[in-house]
Amino acid sequence: MTARTLELLFLGTGGAVVSRDRGHPGLLVRYGDTKLLIDCGEGVQRRALRYGESLHDLDAVLVTHHHTDHVAGIPPLVTTLDMLHGRRVRVYGPPVTGEEAVDVSGLDQVEYREVEPGDRLKVGELTVRVHESRHAVPTVSYRLETPRIPGRADPELIEEVPPEERRRVLLEGRRPYSITRPGRLSVYVTGDGRPADPEAVRGCQVLVHEACFLDPEEARRYRHSTPREAAEVAREAGVTLLLLTHLSPKVEEAEALRRAREVFPNALVAAEGMRVRLRR
């Protein structure tokens, strides 16, 4: 993975009830040598192997909340890493409260760090900003940002710049030596809950948003979102791509996509094994 590429690999795209094609949530994020996992439902470790990825070198697991479908894969994952590598796993997440919450923070193999909206974390090379998500238990969303990536050099003109000055010239986007603008890659990943705040998402290239139900009343009742509501956030925030995930088995993919694209045409329904690469 190059320093110009941020990769998302979907390891689980379903809701609390799994289906033949969708398991419990898990999203692997890679940038350079940094690798983190957002949520870890049942079966995520095995699906990573199926798609040619190992979770043995994770920098951290980011938990959006402590419902079973989002954390049930953590005990087997951390047990594997302890048995094979003798290492603990750093897990970030909101407070563990409520009768429905499953507490993984006390596992011997886990180094748990509690987060709240407004926190700013550094995980490897990535900056992670924590935002609120309105759900039945304390839930957060995560905004991930890369460092500032230099512009691409004009291969002939850059030779005019002393080698020790070239990175600074490209980070400044100085013309004519830099033929593309410098900048960051960023993605916003919602936890379960009602639609994200577009202002928190603004400036991201990609929005990964839950779309558990088609019916707006059902979504409100259970504090989830619909594909149309996710699309409205994407449109208002000005992202480039919307990826819908956390679909209930009752939701037909084609209908979810149709409703989202009525509002925001550049939308996709995430499938397990789907890789999305952002590049500068």
Q: Which residues are catalytic?
A: 69
For residue 146, report the phi and psi dihedrals to the nearest 5 degrees: -80, 165
Question: What residues contact 21, with CB distance under 8 A and at least 6 apart?
Answer: 14, 271, 272
DSSP string of 149-199?
A: BPPPB-TTGGGGS-GGGHHHHHHTT-TTTBSS--B--EEEE--SSSPPPHH
By CB atoms closer than 10 A (0-12, 13-18, 19+), residue 192 is buried
Q: What are phi and psi of 12, to 5 degrees?
A: -165, 130
